């Protein structure tokens, strides 16, 4: 099930205080941008943060 346009507009309205916020439809779903960086995604009428988990890189010791 794709995201409804009404839901996409609602999310954007809720984020109106975020600087330079916009959304863009991609692959049938949406990405939310602020200052040209993805800050959230929403699909199936559910919003998700775009925060990425960082995996620690093991140190190489000889």
Q: For 19-51, what is each residue's pLDDT tens digit?
A: 899 888 887 788 888 888 888 888 776 777 766
The predicted model gives 4-25 an average pLDDT of 85
CB 50 within 8 A of CB 39: yes
Prediction pTM value: 0.63
Q: How many Å apart are CA 34 and CA 14, to the nearest integer?
A: 13
Give the residue with greater pLDDT, 62 vs 22. Answer: 22
Give residue 51's pLDDT: 65
Ranges of H-type helices in 1-62: 5-14
């Amino acid at each position: 099930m794709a995201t409804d346009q009404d839901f996409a507009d609602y999310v954007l309205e809720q984020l109106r205080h975020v600087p330079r916020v916009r959304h863009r439809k991609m692959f049938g779903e949406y990405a939310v941008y602020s200052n040209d960086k993805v800050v959230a995604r929403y699909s199936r009428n559910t919003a998700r943060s775009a925060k990425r988990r960082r995996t620690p890189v093991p140190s190489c010791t000889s």
